[in-house]
């Protein structure tokens, strides 16, 4: 190598260097560089000095880089990179490998990026393809398992909490009085935790899916989906919530990871099982969110938990009227399959025709949908039983089921504060434009926990 250095140095003197468009890690220094070195001595050192690969990986680690892609025929550097960083850290993506086609390798890498929450321009990716990709909703017939399960751990006991009585002024009250038409403002006194000290724990059981486990969280937000939906609806919500709030999606039987189980079609049976889960794993404050069918479930769950002296910090009910208000549409859960599907798609036209025409998919899809609609449409409401927690009633401005006039009926179901909030979109506004919804939830929980990020 040394005999050629003098000649190599002369060549470098005549080289015009174009600056890189991306920052890079130098093999010479092991640090990030923003400008490409133009000093010939640097490139001579590049030939002579050891490659500082481990220092470069540590530099990336300090910057929070979590996704590593190797562009090469063999995944050699990926193994070396793993050895430099903590065990189980990062996503490691080989792309071009000799034993598989380029298309297969790229699809596999993009799929791994997608489940990590990276936004993929699938339309652009398939633009030159002869195939016709079809966008599918998140439903139980998606039988592939994409989520990494948390290792089971037994929950620990809470070490205690300090309760402080505060005054809460409900300035968002939007209930229109039938007689006077006036808007009321209420001042109430409720107890909320101001300083919470809990032993960090992780929830891990069949019913609860935490896509980003956060044992240090001070509060958990439990979410229940609409009819036919699964826990993965809430897969990315944790990214837009406060850092000390853990997002926990309820995984109902019959869908996604529990697709082999029989779905439950009775509210009482389902909520009794959920009560057992909550009593087993409760170790810190929590809030409940449910959309459409999920709104009905979270109310019944909160009611039963209140009987056990365990109340949520907040109840967020979305896209559904209160239990004492009649359904907007006549019951159709018992119709024959063809009529059931036709009625369902007329009310909720979000299921692609390509799915409806696939007999195998519908065989998986129908039992869950029918069970969910049975649960929602056979629910028997006896009497109004107010909760001790505040209620937020949420809906889409274009949604007939979740209209303001129907959502306001939840006012009777709380002894605490109440407000209605409307968002752009229809019945599935939480999928179409979730940011405004999550901003409201985040700010509410921040105020409750008494911190600001």
The pLDDT assigned to 89 comes to: 83
Confidence of residue 1 (pLDDT cuts 50, 70, 90): low
The rounded mean pLDDT for the chain is 78
Has 292 been annotated as catalytic?
yes
Interatomic CA distance for residues 437 and 202, integer angstroms: 26
Q: What is the mean pLDDT of residues 171-199?
A: 38
Confidence of residue 134 (pLDDT cuts 50, 70, 90): low
The pLDDT assigned to 405 comes to: 94
Write out pLDDT tens, residues 308-325. 999 999 999 999 999 999
Range list of H helices, 223-378: 267-281, 293-307, 337-347, 353-356, 359-377
Confidence of residue 154 (pLDDT cuts 50, 70, 90): very low
Interatomic CA distance for residues 3 and 17, integer angstroms: 24
Confidence of residue 63 (pLDDT cuts 50, 70, 90): confident
Domain locations along the chain: 2-125, 161-449
Among 10-19, 82-91, 111-120, 426-435, top mean pLDDT goes to: 426-435
Does pLDDT of 241 surpass 70?
A: yes
The pLDDT assigned to 98 comes to: 66
Q: What is the CA radius of gyration of the chain?
A: 27
Write out pLDDT tens, residues 196-215. 333 444 444 789 988 888 88
Q: Decide if 55 contacts 31 (C-beta within 8 A).
A: yes
The pLDDT assigned to 363 comes to: 78
Q: Which fold has domain 161-449?
A: Rossmann fold (3.40.50)
Q: Decide if 315 contacts 391 (C-beta within 8 A).
A: yes
Query: Cα separations (Å) of 239 from 81, 118, 176, 249, 409?
Result: 27, 12, 35, 14, 32
- Tokens standing for 52? 């500082």
Query: Cα separations (Å) of 435 from 314, 322, 431, 442?
Result: 19, 25, 9, 10
Q: Decide if 96 contacts 74 (C-beta within 8 A).
A: no
The pLDDT assigned to 51 comes to: 80
DSSP code string of 351-380: S-HHHHT-HHHHHHHHHHHHHHHHHHHS--
Does pLDDT of 168 surpass 70?
A: no
Does pLDDT of 453 surpass 50?
A: no
Q: Which fold has domain 2-125?
A: Malonyl-Coenzyme A Acyl Carrier Protein; domain 2 (3.40.366)
- Tokens standing for 373? 């609609």
Which is more confident, 243 or 74?
243
Residue 123, classed as helix, strand or coil, is helix
- Annotated active-site residue in 265, 292, 416, 419: 292
| 289 CB-near residues (< 8 Å, 6+ apart) | 221, 222, 223, 224, 298, 316, 318, 441
Interatomic CA distance for residues 330 and 113, integer angstroms: 43
The pLDDT assigned to 215 comes to: 85
Global confidence as pTM: 0.58
Confidence of residue 74 (pLDDT cuts 50, 70, 90): low
Q: What is the mean pLDDT of residues 171-182?
A: 39
The pLDDT assigned to 188 comes to: 39
Percent of the chain with pLDDT over 70: 77
175 φ, ψ (degrees, to nearest 5):
-75, 125
Which is more confident, 25 or 100?
25
Query: Cα separations (Å) of 375 from 24, 271, 317, 383?
Result: 56, 11, 17, 18
The pLDDT assigned to 150 comes to: 39
Q: What is the mean pLDDT of residues 212-234?
A: 91
**Count of C-beta atoms within a 10 Å radius of residue 7:** 9
Q: Sign of torsion, CA 323 327 330 335?
A: negative
The pLDDT assigned to 148 comes to: 39
Does pLDDT of 107 surpass 60?
A: yes
Interatomic CA distance for residues 95 and 264, integer angstroms: 43
Which is more confident, 440 or 118?
440
Does pLDDT of 171 surpass 70?
A: no
Regarding beta strands 418-423 and 24-25, do their DSSP bridges make them parallel or antiparallel, or are they unpaired? Answer: unpaired
Closest CA to 216 of 181, 191, 245: 245
Closest CA to 322 of 234, 397, 445, 414: 414
* H or E segment and range at residue 187: strand 186-196
Instruction: For 130-178, give the secondary structure using H, E and C.
Output: CCCCCCCCCCCCCCCCCCCCCCCCCCCCCCCEEEEEEEEEECCCCCECC
What one-character DSSP code corresponds to residue 102? Answer: H
Q: What is the mean pLDDT of residues 353-377?
A: 82
User: Looking up tokens 């007689």, which residue turns up?
Assistant: 179
């Amino acid at each position: 190598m040394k005999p050629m250095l003098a000649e190599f140095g002369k060549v470098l003197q005549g080289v015009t260097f174009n600056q890189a468009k991306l920052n890079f890690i130098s093999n010479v220094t092991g640090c990030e560089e923003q400008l490409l070195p133009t000093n010939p001595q640097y490139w001579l050192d590049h030939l002579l000095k050891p490659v500082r690969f481990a220092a470069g990986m540590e530099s990336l680690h300090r910057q929070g880089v979590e996704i590593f892609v190797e562009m090469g025929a063999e995944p050699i550097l990926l193994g070396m990179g793993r050895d430099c960083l903590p065990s189980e850290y990062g996503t490691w993506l080989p792309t071009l490998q000799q034993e598989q086609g380029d298309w297969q390798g790229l699809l596999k890498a993009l799929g791994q990026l997608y489940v990590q929450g990276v936004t993929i321009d699938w339309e652009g990716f398939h633009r030159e393809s002869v195939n016709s990709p079809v966008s599918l909703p998140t439903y139980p017939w998606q039988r592939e398992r994409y989520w990494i399960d948390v290792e089971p751990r037994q929950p620990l006991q809470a070490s205690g909490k300090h309760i402080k009585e505060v005054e809460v002024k409900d300035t968002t009250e939007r209930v229109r009085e039938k007689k006077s038409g006036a808007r009321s403002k209420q001042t109430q006194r409720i107890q909320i935790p101001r300083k919470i000290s809990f032993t960090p724990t992780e929830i891990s059981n069949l019913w609860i899916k935490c896509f980003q486990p956060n044992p240090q969280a001070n509060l958990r937000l439990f979410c229940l989906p609409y009819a036919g939906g699964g826990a993965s609806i809430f897969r990315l919500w944790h990214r837009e919530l406060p850092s000390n709030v853990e997002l926990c999606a309820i995984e109902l039987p019959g869908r996604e990871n529990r697709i082999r189980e029989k779905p439950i079609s009775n509210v009482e049976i389902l909520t009794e099982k959920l009560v057992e889960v909550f009593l087993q794993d409760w170790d810190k404050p929590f809030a409940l969110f449910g959309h459409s069918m999920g709104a009905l479930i979270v109310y019944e769950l909160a009611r039963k938990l209140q009987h056990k002296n365990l109340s949520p910090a907040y109840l967020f009910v979305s896209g559904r009227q209160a239990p004492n208000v009649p359904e907007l549409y006549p019951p159709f859960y018992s119709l024959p399959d063809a009529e059931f599907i036709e009625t369902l798609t007329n009310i909720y036209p979000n299921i692609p025709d390509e799915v409806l025409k696939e007999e195998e998919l519908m065989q998986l899809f129908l039992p869950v949908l029918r069970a969910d609609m049975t649960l929602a449409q056979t629910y028997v409401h006896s009497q109004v039983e107010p909760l001790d927690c505040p209620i937020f009633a949420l809906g889409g401005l274009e949604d007939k089921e979740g209209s303001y006039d129907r959502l306001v009926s939840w006012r009777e179901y709380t002894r605490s504060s109440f407000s209605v909030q409307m968002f752009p979109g229809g019945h599935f506004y939480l999928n179409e434009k979730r940011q405004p919804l999550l901003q409201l939830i985040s700010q509410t929980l921040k105020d409750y926990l008494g911190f600001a990020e």
